[in-house]
Structure 1
Amino acid sequence: MKRITITLDDSLLAEIDSHMEVCGATNRSEAIRDLVARSLSPKAPRDAQCIGVASYALDPGMRDLGLKVPKVRQDHHNRVAAALSVPVDHSSSLEVTVLKGPVGDVEAIANTLFLERGVKHGRLTLVPLAEDGTAHSHGDGHMHRHLQIADRF
């Protein structure tokens, strides 16, 4: 690792110190490395394998969103790994949809969800996957490989 020196104003340093508390970093270098790594993540190739976590808020009663959102997920059942709906109040819920597959497909499905009228605060987080190089069996003779979490796309 290389050592660098940076100059920060007091308010930015206070934000980094707050980030340290939230993320669990034990020193400012760890916190700054975390922030830089997150902000410099390269654009994922559209054909790269990933797990995507789409989160968004909505009013299920608005324009039948309570029917439309599950329909989008059902239309892409081969890419949807899980879905969760958390009621927030009488007229809104927080939705989480876990998607899997190529980045291009995952982004397209998430954008379809986010573009529905009444959906707010849509965010997609991509987790890169890589195929494990070693094929193995679990005693049944069926050879296969697993996808594993990768450090970067």
Structure 2
Amino acid sequence: MHKDNDGDVQLVGGTTSLEGRVEVYYQGSWGTVCDDYWDEQDAMVVCNQVMPGYVGINFGHAYFGEGVGDIILDDVYCTGTESSLLDCAHSGLYNHDCMHVEDASVRCYMPANDGDIQLIGGGAAYQGRVEIFYNLQWGTVCDDSWDLQDATVVCRQLGFTGATDAPQRVGHW
């Protein structure tokens, strides 16, 4: 049986274990975090606790639903390097001016590097719309002159041996 430790975090209400309302364990129970001053550095600390190496997008206003019980933290100020949310500056444990409609949330993801490729919207990991990461955002690839050679490069970059098809969108917008 797993024993929860003070400062552990969990994400509740999301569609995967990498997103949800942030809950912190402290002295025998789980409580929420108020979204006042909630930002990317705070989300980074939470996501790194949930899945080391991951970063996060911050959400407020109970984006993944309102919690119940105690609100444990408010006015959280992380630098992004802390190992636990409790190590960040805050207004004091249980000291808040919030209601659960202000519960903080995050969505965690593996950070990408310029030139990284992903396939989106396919029925399996080996198919989908090609997207490339550049300048801190994902973008699509135009299919003008797109062919099997291009698709093979993408597939090899993703760890597959090659491509069997390189469909283009038929018609114009």
Q: TM-score range by the shorter chain?
A: under 0.3
The alignment's TM-score, normalised by the length of structure 2, stands at 0.22
The alignment's TM-score, normalised by the length of structure 1, stands at 0.24
Greater RCO (Cα-Cα under 8 Å, separation 6 or more): 1
